[in-house]
Amino acid sequence: MILSNKEDLIVSSWGGIDKGSLWLLNTHNDSISRQDISDAKYLTVHIGKNDYFSIVHHYEADRICISAHSFKEPGKTISRVLFEPSGNSFEGDTMVWKFLPKTYVAYFKRPALSDFYLFLIEPIRPSAEIIILDWFNESYDKGYQGVIDVIEIPNQNKLIISIQRDSHPVLYDLDQRKVIAKISLADRHGNPTLRFNHQGDELWAEDYDTLLRINTSTWQVINSMRLQGASAGTGQFIGYYCFNKDESLCAVARPFSGDVVALNTKRFKITHTCTLGSQPLSVVLLTDGTVYSRDWKTGNLLKGKLKKKWFA
């Protein structure tokens, strides 16, 4: 789930439920609409700058499409890049790519090798490239693990790439085209999602049931907190997390507790809670404390309001 700058529109696409369509929520009246934009198996949505966002269209075929959109007209494709075995092609207004992430990861079927690849879109030229991840080799269990996320390190030509069921995302140098380090999380073998704060001096990550804050100068963990308990011998994961606009709070969905908790980002301590019921997996937090989520199994809308946790 991603939120417009004015906090008036939420855009989401929920895997096998939404497939090739966008799920749109108007926060003024909580009206929900859907727009079919693709014949892909599923979509992943990526926030950009200036109310732009990009979408990766995942097909069960030898093509990948990445399209550019705006919150003003979410269903309209401003530009797109099509990756096929015969080459890569741009369509539409290519200037929009300077407002969007330039790197993406996806599974792609190529004649030589079907595997996970890094897709690079350079906005200035513009140009597009498929990069082989030669480090993602037999040292990983490819029947059990995939490359799931990539994030660009602010003001550097470096990336952090996370792997499914792995607590050591890799630090990747785009100039050298190689892994230069690994970052150690909580050793919980989760599917890490990564976010930088606005200043770029902190990397936040979730590792199965644990949320972490990391210093970007040393890549050492500053704080960590296990946020989802479980019965002995079992494990239960937390959902996605997000910051509010001024990054004073970080909201974390807990599908096995039916709620969202919010941490004070300076103290790294839970200060607010919001009971939603069902199994909230995604989360958006508005400035006024309103929480929106979607249920893990159904994709249904869940809504509530943060309440201060006393003695926090």
Could you read off the pLDDT of 266-296 as tens digits, one per residue? Answer: 999 999 999 999 999 999 999 999 999 999 9
Query: Which tokens sit at 224?
Result: 């960590």
Q: 105, 150 in Cβ contact below 8 A?
A: yes
Which amino acid, one-letter code, is at 151?
I
Asked whether 166 and 145 are in contact (CB, 8 A), the reply is yes
Tell me the percentage of the chain whose pLDDT exceeds 90: 89
Q: What is the mean pLDDT of residues 211-236?
A: 88
Model pLDDT, residue 231: 60
Exposed, middle or buried, 238 (CB in 10 Å: 0-12/13-18/19+)?
buried
The pLDDT of residue 91:
96
Q: Are 306 and 285 in contact (CB under 8 A)?
A: yes
Taking only the tens place, the pLDDT of each residue in 71-90 is 999 999 999 999 998 889 99
| Distances, alpha carbon 282 to alpha carbons 90, 220, 239, 252, 299, in Å | 32, 27, 6, 8, 9
Phi–psi pair at 95, nearest 5 degrees: -65, -25
The confidence score (pLDDT) of residue 60 equals 84
Nearest to 242 by CA among 266, 260, 216: 260
Query: pTM of the full predicted structure?
Result: 0.95
Alpha-carbon distance 286 to 6, whole Å? 10
From the CA atom positions of the chain, what is the Rg in Å?
19
What are the domain boundaries of the chain? 227-312
DSSP 44: E
Q: What is the pLDDT of residue 220?
A: 96
Token duo for residue 249 = 């709070």
Q: Give the pLDDT band of residue 66 (cuts 50, 70, 90).
A: very high
Q: What is the pLDDT of residue 311?
A: 65
